[in-house]
Structure 1
Amino acid sequence: MTIALVTGATQGLGLALAEGLAQRLKPTDTVYLTGRDAVRVAAAVGSVQGSAQVRGELFDVAQPNSAHDLAEQLKQRHGGVDIVFGNAVMRIGPDDDPREIADEYTQVNNFGTTRLLREFAPLLNDNGRLLVVASSLGTLHHLAPVLHGRFTAPSTLDEIDDQIARWRDEIKENRTGAWPGFVNIPSKIGQVAAVRVLAAQRREEDTERGILIASACPGMINTPTSALWWDVSTAPTPAQAAKALLDLALDPVKREHYGELVRHGEVVPFS
């Protein structure tokens, strides 16, 4: 019996991941489709077609205790989990003022990610997968060299959180310095760095147990939010983009993927 969890799963890529899992898993398996709005979660569950059981759960990653509470529930019900997709994200548009959205943005995208990593990595069964949906923007190539140490020096998730909090405060105080204007870049780098830190701590044990922890880039996707920034008219649909991520979750582990950012089966170098 496989237990899978997808965060941010009421629309777009998250919904496509939940449906893809439901279609590729067995009737004895369970996919937890999560989101922060009960009505939208119920509607999403009702829309999914597949053979596995799909259960809706309220899960707001921005709430400090939410990851812990859900992890405890799943531990009591199942003992552990097999697949976790961290896909929850706060979407922003070109007209959003970074100073006004910095608190909520980092709570969802970054602190939500580290909470998920802390709580669900210990629940992974043998051969489990913990995948954070990130972006190829989450590499140091997109960041001024003077800032690289902010993401390469930390060796714990707490230290990553400290760096994200520091960046958030600099945005709010308009002390942006060498930071790029597009807040998605440092945020994604923070997510990838968090995965790398956790993987460095767990590598030996996870290798023995067949576990994969990684971040994953789905590439450009044709969604209304992406269309605010780029021409996505020829980009893959969420269902098409989900395929490579589902393969990463369900195919045999490639050890070179461990702790790395993976796009279409290939490692994207962090630096």
Structure 2
Amino acid sequence: MSAPPASAATRYAAASPYPSRPAGRLDMTEPGRVALITGATQGLGAALVGELARRLGPHDTVYATGRDLDRLAEVCEAASTSTGAQVRSEHFDVSDPQRTPQLADLMRERHGGVDIVFNNAVMRVAPDDDIAAVVAPYVEVNNFATTRILRALLPLLRDNGRFVVIASSLGTLNYLAPVLHERFPDDATLDDVDAAVAGWRDLVADGSVRGTPWPGFINIPSKVAQVAAIRAVARTHREAHLARGTLVTAVCPGMMNTPTSAAFWDVSDAPSPQEAAVPLVDLALMESIDPNLYGQLSRDGQVLPWKPVAV
């Protein structure tokens, strides 16, 4: 009789680049941990909710956030277990600038802070989309929401906290023409990153981007800007955060077998969102952080160079 198929957690734990910890709390005398996931109604976001709920303990709370309350209820019901964390839903439209400070205030009032944030919300595009028509809402969700969440939730991140932006390996200067690298300088602030994104967005929206060095695939400038935002935070917070055991980082989860990815590529052999969530939660639950990952983009535990490597 053959053995039953291994679960996603079992298959991917061995491949994870991060030392995992057992399910449940390390020290039940500590206040309960609070984890928050944006874009949690489907795909990787829903999978992160389930994996965190399974591996945290009953004194911990996992927040699934998103726009669709019915889907959030389904995600929370599926993730809830008798031994894992409490799972709660919270309506959060990341494209609404007013909602981010409101959510931060809510976390402060209920818990005094947060321990784990997965910035995962994303607006997806399809191959036949009119890019000029969708670029404004796309940037609002993927970029301006990221910088708003960094500004609002980073001050609430407790000691040994984790703030993870789900990004892409496309998010480095290697994918931009050299003449564009100065748009994302090493000393950029979050405001500078927002301004660079707004300038590019306007060029795309009015069609004047044609004939410029900007790439036609809008994912690339958007993903570069996400990583630039993490780097901007790292430049001013690195020393203090590392002293507190706090990690702020961007991670590429790799290609996943989802309908969105399937519209562009053959992902039949790619891992499912549930499988991809395992190493990401390993990273969030590491007992000690790798300082090399702080403020960087990584994939499979390896930092991806921000700038082209000189030959």
Q: Does the pair score TM above 0.5? A: yes
Post-superposition CA distance 1:66-97 (Å, at most 9, x none): 11100100101100100000000001100011
Residue 248 (1) aligns with residue 283 (2):
yes
- The counterpart of 1:14, out of the listed 45, 49, 54, is 45
1:173-252 alignment runs, 5 A limit: 173-176=206-209, 177-251=212-286, 252=288
Distance 1:191 1:34 in 2: 20
* Structure 1 residues 154 and 102: alpha-carbon distance in aligned structure 2, compared to 1, 3 A threshold: farther
Kept after mapping to 1: 8 A contact 2:80/2:87: no
Distance 2:306 2:74 in 1: 38
1:98-117 alignment runs, 5 A limit: 98-117=131-150
Kept after mapping to 2: 8 A contact 1:88/1:108: yes
Kept after mapping to 2: 8 A contact 1:244/1:265: no
- The counterpart of 2:106, out of the listed 67, 73, 76, is 73
Amino acid at match of 1:138: G
Larger radius of gyration: 2
Kept after mapping to 1: 8 A contact 2:187/2:235: no
SS of 2:162 mapped into structure 1: strand
In structure 2, the residue matched to 1:53 is: 86
Report the more deviating stretch, 38-47 or 112-121.
38-47
Kept after mapping to 2: 8 A contact 1:154/1:160: no
In structure 2, the residue matched to 1:29 is: 60
Kept after mapping to 1: 8 A contact 2:252/2:298: yes
Amino acid at match of 1:175: S
Distance 2:242 2:233 in 1: 13
SS of 2:159 mapped into structure 1: strand
Post-superposition CA distance 1:21-43 (Å, at most 9, x none): 00110011000000012112112
SS of 1:152 mapped into structure 2: coil
What is the Cα deviation at residue 266 of structure 1?
A: 1.1
Structure with the higher fraction of residues in helix conformation: 1
Kept after mapping to 1: 8 A contact 2:40/2:49: yes
Q: TM-score, normalised by structure 1?
A: 0.98
Report the more deviating stretch, 79-88 or 144-153.
144-153
Distance 1:135 1:153 in 2: 19
SS of 2:221 mapped into structure 1: helix
In structure 2, the residue matched to 1:2 is: 33
What is the Cα deviation at residue 155 of structure 1?
A: 2.2
- The counterpart of 1:257, out of the listed 272, 290, 293, is 293
Report the more deviating stretch, 248-257 or 86-95.
248-257
Distance 1:169 1:32 in 2: 34
Distance 1:270 1:238 in 2: 26
SS of 2:184 mapped into structure 1: helix
Q: Which has the higher contact order (CA 8 A, sep 6+)?
A: 2
> Among the aligned pairs, what percent are the same residue?
55
SS of 1:73 mapped into structure 2: helix
Q: TM-score, normalised by structure 2?
A: 0.86
In structure 1, the residue matched to 2:122 is: 89
SS of 1:89 mapped into structure 2: coil
Post-superposition CA distance 1:105-140 (Å, at most 9, x none): 000000010001000110000000000000001011
